[in-house]
Amino acid sequence: MTPEEIRIKDKDIHAFLEVFSAEGGSASGGEGPLSGKTIAIKDNILFEGHKASAGSKILEGFVAPYDSTVVKKLKDAGALIVGRTNMDEFAMGSSTESSAYGVTKNPHDLERVAGGTSGGSAAAVAAGMVPFAIGSDTGGSIRQPAAFCGVVGLKPTYGRVSRNGLIAYVSSFDQIGPIAKTVSEVETIYNIIKGQDPLDSTTITDDTYLIAKKFNKTIGVPREFVESEGVSDEVKENFEKAVEKFKSLGYSIKEIDLPSLKYALAVYYIIMPAEASSNLARFDGVKYGMHMDGENSIDDYFRTRGAGFGREVRRRIILGTYVLSSGYYDEYYGKAVQARNLITTELRNLFTEVDLMLTPTTPSPAWKIGDKSNSPLEMYLEDIYTVPANITGCPSISVPSGQVGNLPLGILLTADLGREDNLFVAGKEFLGA
Amino acid sequence: MLNLAKLSRIELSDEEAESLSHEFDAILNYVGEVKEVNVKSREVSNKDFALKNILREDTEPHETGLYTEKLLSQAPAREGGYIKVKKIL
């Protein structure tokens, strides 16, 4: 679609915070594998000369002073970056309802959420406004909206894609990845954006993780985890169909037991606010973005941060401050780090026996806008299947697995560190594309 | 709650502090599950953690002032080549 066509189509959906004018776009025109293709980027990824607000009022007016590495690579590949997509404020949420700039609607049902936090990116692809979009995934933020919108979303291995120019949220979880309609297209974008970067010292090389195990078409299903409390019957039914489909494709399915997985969500909701409270200390109304004037210097901070951050962001920063405070540190953060290491060890052991782990992507299909706004904990429980990949760093892909009525559902494949190749093989066979 | 907000440098109304404290009860009750985790060191193997720090020599800086104007132009208040803030001491 042209920028003008996207603007018209987006009136109902609100996937974009800004569609760049043809002249103001990347104007790449370069030759490369993406020549002539359009792509949208999430609002927390810097594109020089364009606004980047991370869905927050506190960054109102902020203009990116440099290109993120991902944007540079996309431009070099010839892609035309057409706009920045809506997201939950600072990537905190599961529905884009915490965006300071309004909610993105699900293209399959405009009364429902598109998921989050990369809800704008997933909706833009699902509605056909762009063939590809870039998101970021801290606890499921690429994969969950991809499932809700019926498209494919990949969170690569931690460190696979440079985060130089990504507005940091949880530095030990954050990872950038692609969203598209097919696994092959996701793989194409992944190959363009991945790679070691001197500007992000957490990036890995192709040799960081030894590829010792040959792909053997074996999938592990953590039965107890899949049937966690609160998972809807439609999801369970859809999941069983997916399991049967993999069997018919010649995969062997192993029932597995990973006892530590039940702690994954609790671990996530301790480490995440802890790191967020530290990363978001930089928004102070002094260096960039919004400034609210107070009586003195410190009062400026209180006013700016009180007014500039939305409710969910305030909640998570304060929660993070609590779990890191002396007296509670060992009890929460210390324990969470231990449990995280245990989950990583258990999951990596599993991958010596199976190639992939299979679960649903979400415990329910997309909910109605506003339905979960009053209960943060209920919203947090939506992340149950997606957080293990962030805690362990493992790559993980959500692939459409059919619909309940008009609402899409997804299945989630997770592989050992460095084994995106296994996700692509199984994902393509499952989807047939 | 108000003390935590103060440590976080966030202005918070009494009303929000009250509702946050209820929400925190529910959240902490849930995440408190991790307290029962008792990890013995032998259960966690170093081979599962391949990442290590990457350092570089502190040399070859970029040309002085190359980004100064771009970055300073984002500041809410500035004076010449400086960011302007209220008196601190």
Gyration radius (Cα) of chain A, Å: 20
Secondary element (H or E) of residue A274: helix A264-279
Round to whole Å and give the CA distance between A137 and A400. Answer: 18
**Predicted complex ipTM:** 0.91
Which residue type sits at A426?
A
Does B77 contact chain A (CB < 8 Å)?
yes
- Residue A166 sits at φ, ψ, to 5 deg, of -95, 130
The three-point CA angle A152-A265-A92 to 5° equals 65
Residues A34-88 pLDDT 10s:
999 999 999 999 999 999 999 999 999 999 999 999 999 999 999 999 999 999 9
Report residue B49 as tokens. Answer: 């953690």
- Chain A residues in contact with B50 (beta carbon < 8 A): 208-209, 417
Beta-sheet pairing, A356-360 with A80-85: unpaired
Bridge partner residues of A358 (DSSP): A413
Does A328 contact chain B (CB < 8 Å)?
no
- Chain B residues in contact with A300 (beta carbon < 8 A): 85-86
State the smallest CA–CA distance between residue B64 and chain A in angstroms.
16
**Looking at the whole model, is its pTM more than 0.90?**
yes
Round to whole Å and give the CA distance between A147 and A152. Answer: 7
Chain A stretch 55-114, residues whose beta carbon is closer than 8 A to a beta carbon of chain B: 62-63, 65-66
A165 φψ region: left (φ > 0), alpha (ψ -120 to 50), beta (else): left
User: Residue B76 and residue A62: Cβ atoms within 8 Å?
Assistant: no
The fold of the A3-193 domain, in CATH, is Amidase signature (AS) enzymes (3.90.1300)
* Candidate from B16, B76, B88 with C-beta closest to A291: B76
* Candidate from A303, A341, A417 with C-beta closest to B11: A303
User: Residue A285 and residue B71: Cβ atoms within 8 Å?
Assistant: no
Per-residue pLDDT of chain A (433 residues; tens, 9 = 90+): 999 999 999 999 999 999 998 655 555 557 899 999 999 999 999 999 999 999 999 999 999 999 999 999 999 999 999 999 999 999 999 999 999 999 999 999 999 999 999 999 999 999 999 999 999 999 999 999 999 999 999 999 999 999 999 999 999 999 999 999 999 999 999 999 999 999 999 999 988 998 778 999 999 999 999 998 889 999 999 999 999 999 999 999 999 999 999 999 999 999 999 999 999 999 999 999 999 999 999 999 999 999 999 999 999 999 999 999 988 998 999 999 999 999 999 999 999 999 999 999 999 999 999 998 888 888 888 999 999 999 999 999 999 999 999 999 999 999 999 999 999 999 999 999 8
Does A343 contact chain B (CB < 8 Å)?
no
Best to test chain B binding among A62, A92, A345 (most B CBs inside 10 Å):
A345
Does A307 contact chain B (CB < 8 Å)?
yes
- Chain A residues in contact with B53 (beta carbon < 8 A): 201
- Chain A residues in contact with B39 (beta carbon < 8 A): 338-339, 341-342
Domain ranges of chain A: 3-193
- Chain B residues in contact with A311 (beta carbon < 8 A): 16
Question: What per-residue confidence (pLDDT) applies to B39?
Answer: 74
Does A314 contact chain B (CB < 8 Å)?
yes
Bridge partner residues of A284 (DSSP): none
Round to whole Å and give the CA distance between A261 and A266. Answer: 10
Do residues A317 and A169 lie in contact, with contact meaning Cβ atoms separated by under 8 Å?
Answer: no
- Chain B residues in contact with A281 (beta carbon < 8 A): 9
Chain A stretch 237-276, residues whose beta carbon is closer than 8 A to a beta carbon of chain B: 260, 262-263, 265-267, 269-270
Which residue type sits at A186?
V
Cα distances from A218 to residues A110, A116, A314, A422, B59, in angstroms, run 38, 30, 44, 10, 49
Query: Of A173, A183, A178, A207, which is closest to residue A70 (Cα–Cα)?
Result: A178
Question: What per-residue confidence (pLDDT) applies to B87?
Answer: 87
State the smallest CA–CA distance between residue B87 and chain A in angstroms.
7
Residues A368-381 pLDDT 10s:
999 988 888 888 88
Which DSSP state fits A51?
B
pLDDT band at B32 (very low <50, low <70, confident <90, very high): very high
User: Residue A348 and residue B56: Cβ atoms within 8 Å?
Assistant: no
State the smallest CA–CA distance between residue B53 and chain A in angstroms.
8
Which DSSP state fits A195?
S
User: Residue B11 and residue A296: Cβ atoms within 8 Å?
Assistant: no
